[in-house]
Structure 1
Amino acid sequence: MKLTDKQWEKLKDLIPDGVKRPDGRGRPWRDKREALEGILWILKTGAQWSHLPPVYPPYQTCHRRFQQWQEQGVMQRVVEALARDLHERGGVDLSECYIDGSFCMAKKGGSSVGKTKRGKGTKVMAVTDAGGTVLSVSVESASPHEVKLVGKVLEERFIEPLPERLIGDKAYDSDPLDQALQQKGIEMIAPHRGNRKKKKTQDGRKLRRYKRRWKVERFFAWLFNYRRCVTRYEYKVENYKAFILLACMLILLKPFMR
């Protein structure tokens, strides 16, 4: 998967160069842009590393660079830098944000894998702003209810400011969650569940914002266009999260595709 020159211009200073030996020996490092494009081809196609086409560096090189960047936290820093730049340019609207989660089957097990009625898997949580720009993602076990995962996905947000309002579906109808978010200055807006026994707490006028919740669902549609994110094949949850972050990086770079 090839990056445009504009996209690479945004990334080149965020991707670290290879470390050179003090004695000058050893093979020179492959170009970091070529290695990144090879990794992105794996992300886009969902293929095995050994199927990487010869137009890219050897798959061993790309896989090794992927592991190094994941361990160094490069993917997280890149996405945070892109989101922060967008926010500073006035491209982020925190007046109403949307939250949702999506189940992903985990084929090889590993950490952060939980049992559900759909099988063993992982839950990808996401928060987007009013325009649908991704602001945070987290990868957790699929077993806990989504209400219990809200705090973690907010902690892992890409920019410092918190949302003013957080809009979710009926799964987020929880008085304890409302109170916890109020302490952070966030208003939770979610339709009441049909079996709710306590008195209603939501204002019907504010619930009109719920009709725009499709924006977070659109983000998941974009995310799962990258086939390596659809099903988790990575035993280590950190590797799967790294692919999720790379997909978020490409989504944030869409305005620079030409």
Structure 2
Amino acid sequence: MGRGDLSGAEWERLRPFLLVSNRRCGRWRDHRQVIDGILCRVRTGVQWRDLPERFGPWKTVHERHRLWSADGTGERLLRQVQAAADAAGEIDWDISVDSTIVRAPVCGRCPHRSAAGPRIKGGRTGGTPGRNAVAEPERPPGGGGAGGEGLGRSRGGFTTKLHLSADGRCRPLSLTVTAGQRADCTQLKPVLEKIRVPRPGPGRPRKKPDSLAADEAYSNGPCREYLRRRGIRHTIPEKTDSQAARLRKGSRGGRPPGFDEQRYKKRSTVERAINCLKQHRAVAARYDKRGYVHLGTATAAALTIWLRF
């Protein structure tokens, strides 16, 4: 067992949910060896061709990661681990949401070819918006977010944005990927609707948290209305300009939104969850060409957090 590999107990938590074979490819190569290779690449950010030989053929590891990112196997494993934690009462359902920018490496003024998105008709790449940009390609299975493959221009340069929710113990519950210039508030609904923790027995998966904390980026009417409609207690500070506009209207401006200062202090859990995710070099910098593969990389990092912390 090498550094970062699955321990025996961790492997036993994943093994029951992995298929031994499929109709198209026959019997799979040893899942544990391949998963160890995927986790090594996620942790170190090394190129696939440079994976150590003990993980087997690098192309097998890469293709398994790409396939599991596309068909949702990574998310299914994450949900099963979350379900076991929820059955043991180990999930703090006072959650927080936020986002983080992930830089796509650049060489001079051009995006790194590993993160430039797939090549499309006309010779341009799908994730490089420009003045004379052509139509974006279709979104791949698993979702690449806005901006073709979840790549766009923002003040940070050529970036991807990773949106997530985290429980009260700093572990990611759900993840989405968009282009770097997308506003955080547009992804509140997708992030919350991806929370699906299965029950240990019959019954619907749990989707609703006990409470939610978020920063001012989520302080607008549609976000608050969505949370009220779902009956989710929330703590979101009011923006200064919104407060000034409400005060100018006098009694017509209505009451200020409720704000629990002590509850808001727990929002730091999502910041610490982001820090844990970005300890993985393949998450801190985007090297994946396709948006859904980068989401699969972030999901693999989240899986290791749930297994080990």
TM-score by length of 1: 0.89
Distance 2:50 2:20 in 1: 25
For residue 258 of structure 2, the aligned residue among 203, 212, 219 is: 203
CA contact (8 A) 1:146 1:172 kept: yes
The aligned counterpart of 2:84 is 85
The answer on 1:99 being equivalent to 2:97 is yes
Question: Residue 143 of structure 1: CA displacement?
Answer: 2.0
Deviations 1:167-187 (A, max 9, x none): 011212213211121001112
Residue identity (%): 27
The alpha-carbon deviation at position 92 of structure 1 amounts to: 1.5
> Which residue number corresponds to residue 50 of structure 1?
49
Residue 233 of structure 2 is matched in structure 1 by 187
Structure 2 distance, partners of 1:21, 1:15, is: 16
Hey, what does 1:251 align to over in structure 2? 305
Describe the superposition over 1:101-123 as per-residue Cα deviations: whole angstroms up to 9, x where unpaired.
00112342431222211112221
**1:108 pairs with 2:116:** yes
Matched residues in 2 for 1:184 and 1:67: separation? 35
Q: 129-138 vs 117-126, which deviates more?
A: 129-138
47-56 or 125-134, which deviates more: 125-134
Asked whether the 8 Å contact 2:193–2:207 carries over to 1, the reply is no
Distance in 1 between residues matched to 2:191 and 2:24, nearest whole Å: 39
Corresponding pairs, count: 249
Q: What is aligned with 1:9?
A: 12
Aligned counterparts of 1:72 and 1:212: Cα–Cα separation in 2: 34
Q: Trace 1:30-179 onto structure 2 (pairs within 5 A).
A: 30-94=29-93, 96-106=94-104, 107-109=115-117, 110=127, 111-159=149-197, 160-179=206-225
- Letter of the aligned partner of 2:220 in structure 1? S
In the superposition, the TM-score normalised over structure 2's length comes to 0.75
Which residue of the partner structure matches residue 273 of structure 2? Answer: 219
- The one-letter code sitting in structure 2 at the alignment partner of 1:203 is G
- Tell me which amino acid in the other structure corresponds to 1:222: C
RMSD between aligned residues:
2.0
Give 1:56's aligned amino acid.
F
- 1:61/1:98 Cα in 2 relative to 1: closer, same or farther (>3 Å)? same
Q: Cα deviations across residues 14-42 of structure 1 (Å, max 9, x unaligned)? A: 222233789xxx9x743111111011110
1:83 touches 1:252 (CA, 8 Å); kept in 2? yes
* Alignment match, 2:250: none
